[in-house]
Structure 1
């Protein structure tokens, strides 16, 4: 299959997963809006539904880019405040492993994504079939790092076998890419992560790492599109056809 044909198939899968997630939104919800290409499809569809009068919701976005998109499609946004809890956050993932363990942050929004995921009653992941993996680690693990601490963080990650690289700004290379918070983004090439929980503890102990892209124990469900089929993956349950769900299971 040609690369362009494969990309077209993946894009259609992303759209199907996003459309299915929209069926789980209910009137009056406070919704967390994820970042990345799959989440962008959901944001656009959510805006369409609001304009059509299907329901009313308010939202907070996990990145400046998602915030701009949400405003452009008419989604009312609320600012962070104490006591704010989200009924539902819909976000993508770079990898979905066993027990809904995730690698996120390929788009550089891992800190805000984890903040909203932690502040949500239900984190729903939407993804195309390429994101489902038997073991995490093929996708480079992102880190958000305070600039001052960069040399020591790189040394520590190298000692863990992570082969770290500083992410470059695609539009301004060789300048480094920066997060929305102005921090550096580091990609760690572990290749395989047999024990993500242990690695998460090791990363948390390294001064200067603001956040890492391992999302463990946060996702409640994932809608994964596989060609024409939509499958819901949940903790402790066998994958099932998404057609059986009209709301949060």
Structure 2
């Protein structure tokens, strides 16, 4: 039976340049790429864990500074709406993922169909990457905007979570993300906010598995 990973792999051609983001589906795609012979690719990644996975599989990873363009950037998401807007919050590397996405001709999301809804899932936070000195001010702003927010704690050590850039993460929750465009705009403009986990008009396609097990590539306008 064809899978999301099979569909992504079928898009690749020799000598393409691809970016592999974070998440379990991207990790599975890396595993499949490593098994294919005669498919030379240039690979880059915004994820330290994906870089390690690729190296363990014998796949060479190039720094983005050596790459001028990317054919396909593959990534996962925590929530997507019918307009292909995304929340990519749990991994905490959204700022780097946006940099790689903007380099790509196609930014393709690999995700279960259960994560695609008419509106973004309010249970998934809007996550902010914030300079440490600005945390208290940003928390005041989120309260003013009617959001419930908290600084993310590290799950392995007694410390706050930090991004690869050394910054803090603030998770913001709302009753609904119907107004996320305006909220995101207000937050992005605030000094000390480095980036947010809301990806608006960034994804060009989603590869998913429908309820009937059919693998489908969805583009903007396909879902009503």
TM class, shorter-chain normalised? Answer: over 0.9
Q: Does 2:130 align with 1:158?
A: no
Q: What's the CA shift for 1:238?
A: 5.0
Number of the residue aligned with 1:21? 8
Q: Is the 8 A contact 2:82 2:223 kept in 1?
A: no
Structure 1 residue 172 corresponds to structure 2 residue 157: yes
Q: CA RMSD in A?
A: 1.9
Query: What secondary structure, in the 3-state scheme, does the structure 1 residue paired with 2:208 have?
Result: strand
Which residue pairs with 1:30 in the alignment?
17
Residue-by-residue CA offset, 1:185-240 (whole Å, 9 max, x unaligned): 1111113111332222112111111110010111110011235221221012359x
What CA distance in whole angstroms lies between the structure 2 residues aligned with 1:85 and 1:226? 32
Greater helix share, 1 or 2?
A: 1
Distance 1:40 1:87 in 2: 18
State the shift of 1:38 in Å: 2.0
Q: Aligned equivalents of 2:9 and 2:156: distance in 1? A: 33
Q: Distance in 1 between matches of 2:73 and 2:116?
A: 19
Q: Aligned pair count?
A: 222
Mapping 1:227-242, distance limit 5 Å:
227=211, 228-238=213-223
For 1:103, which of 87, 93, 101 is the aligned residue?
87
For 1:106 and 1:164, the matched residues in 2 are separated by 15
Distance 2:194 2:61 in 1: 25
TM-score, normalisation: structure 2: 0.92
What are the superposed Cα offsets for residues 140-183 of structure 1, whole Å, 9 maximum, x if unpaired? 1111111111000111111112211111111114x111111111
8 Å Cα contact 2:89-2:124 kept in structure 1: no
Is 1:206 the counterpart of 2:210 in the alignment?
A: no
Change in Cα spacing, 1:69 to 1:83, as seen in structure 2 (3 Å) is closer
**Aligned equivalent of 2:165:** 181
The aligned counterpart of 1:242 is none
Structure 1 runs not aligned, ≥5 long: 1-11, 240-249
Aligned counterparts of 2:172 and 2:26: Cα–Cα separation in 1:
24
Choose from 61, 64, 77 the match for 1:77: 61
Query: In 2, distance between residues paired with 1:63 and 1:145?
Result: 18
Partner of 1:7: none
Match in the other structure for 1:222: 206
Residue 58 of structure 1 contacts residue 75 of structure 1 at CA under 8 Å; is this kept in 2? no
Q: Secondary structure at the match of 2:111?
A: strand
**Change in CA separation of 1:191 and 1:29 when aligned onto 2, cut-off 3 Å:** farther
